[in-house]
């Protein structure tokens, strides 16, 4: 007789997805424990579930809590800002983990997250991707909603794919905004919403631009998958964009129906793409 699987531990940053993962895990009959990062996790999202807030540097407390709640599988989900080393104030276990991270501390986000996933595995946990629980939040290629990109938008999407792949190979960001072949903004550590605000300030005369969001080449999907929510669509509209293209099968939609409704109301297109050259 096989052993019963343990609890799913959710290491939660901001946004609604930690609760969505919790709901999906509970629907599978798995106990759930949310470990919320203080200052990032939203209380209204995690409060309905067994949880505790911890600061980022308290790695010893985190590991103890996860083990005390019987967690065997872990999911890292929700945005957090990369902290400075001075702000961490690590506990004793945190200091040991920082030492184990070594050079990854000074690498890009992918290098750091990959090292963190490896260390959590060495600690006996199975790190799983949010998409394994939220299969409904990823979509196949195609247009969502009532608006489709025209020829110029398709060309801008292809240009954006080339730009984001170049950024991704350097572990810089997952997104950019292109308008009529001109790159208005690229995403770095400020995140998508702030990038969209900058793109709006740089908007040129003529038709609006396109937001392109992709998984970085070689990125581990178990951490920091590209995510789009209704707020992304609203901010794209405020920036004067014509639409959003995101990678099919590798992007989480926090609320697909709400994203489509927002896009339809704003007259924006939403399209799930593959990184290969696009045709109309």
Distance CA 258, CA 163 (A): 28
Mean of pLDDT values over 196-210: 93
pLDDT band at 183 (very low <50, low <70, confident <90, very high): very high
pTM of the model: 0.83
Check whether 46 has a pLDDT greater than 60.
Answer: yes
Q: How far apart are the first and last CA of the chain?
A: 54
- Average pLDDT over the chain reads 87
Question: Which helix (DSSP H) or strand (DSSP E) does residue 92 occupy?
Answer: helix 92-101
Query: What pLDDT shows up at residue 279?
Result: 45
Question: Does the pLDDT of residue 2 top 50, yes or no?
Answer: no
Q: Is the pLDDT of residue 277 over 50?
A: no
On the question of pLDDT at 141 being above 60, the answer is yes
- Find out whether 254 and 16 touch, Cβ atoms under 8 Å: yes
pLDDT in tens, 73-120: 999 888 777 665 555 677 777 777 777 766 655 555 555 566 677 788
Question: CA dist 91 to 56, 67, 84, 150, 208, Å?
Answer: 10, 17, 15, 54, 49
**Residue 137 · residue 20 · CB < 8 Å:** yes
If we measure between CA atoms, which residue out of 82, 8, 6, 77 comes closest to residue 45?
77
**If you average pLDDT over residues 162-174, what whole number do you get?**
87
| Among 72-76, 120-124, 205-209, the least confident range | 120-124
- Across 165-267, the runs of DSSP E, i.e. the strands, are 175-179, 182-186, 210-213, 227-228, 243-247, 252-253
Tell me how far CA of residue 180 lies from CA of 71, 83, 172, 192, 209, in angstroms. Answer: 49, 36, 23, 20, 7
């Amino acid at each position: 007789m096989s052993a019963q699987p343990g609890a799913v531990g959710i290491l939660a940053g901001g946004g609604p997805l930690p609760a969505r993962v919790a709901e999906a895990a509970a629907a599978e009959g798995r106990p759930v424990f949310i470990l919320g990062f203080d200052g990032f996790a939203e209380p209204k999202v995690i409060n309905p579930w067994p949880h505790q807030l911890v600061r980022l540097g308290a790695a010893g407390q985190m590991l103890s809590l996860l083990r005390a709640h019987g967690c065997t599988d872990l999911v890292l989900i929700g945005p957090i800002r990369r902290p400075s080393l001075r702000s961490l104030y690590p506990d004793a276990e945190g200091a040991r983990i920082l030492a184990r991270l070594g050079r990854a501390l000074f690498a890009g986000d992918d290098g750091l997250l990959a090292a963190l996933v490896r260390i959590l595995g060495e600690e006996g946990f199975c790190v799983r991707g949010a998409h394994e629980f939220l299969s409904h939040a990823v979509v196949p290629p195609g247009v969502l909603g009532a608006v489709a990109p025209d020829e110029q938008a398709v060309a801008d999407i292809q240009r954006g794919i080339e730009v984001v792949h170049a950024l991704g190979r350097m572990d810089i960001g997952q997104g950019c905004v292109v308008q009529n072949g001109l790159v208005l903004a690229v995403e770095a550590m400020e995140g998508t919403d702030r990038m969209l605000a900058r793109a709006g300030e740089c908007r040129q005369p003529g038709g609006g631009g396109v937001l392109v969001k992709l998984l970085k080449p070689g990125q581990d999907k178990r951490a920091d998958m590209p995510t789009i929510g209704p707020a992304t669509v609203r901010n794209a509209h405020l920036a004067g964009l014509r639409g959003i293209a995101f990678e099919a099968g590798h992007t989480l939609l926090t609320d697909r129906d709400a994203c489509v409704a927002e896009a339809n109301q704003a007259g924006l297109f939403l399209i799930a793409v593959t990184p290969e050259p696009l045709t109309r």
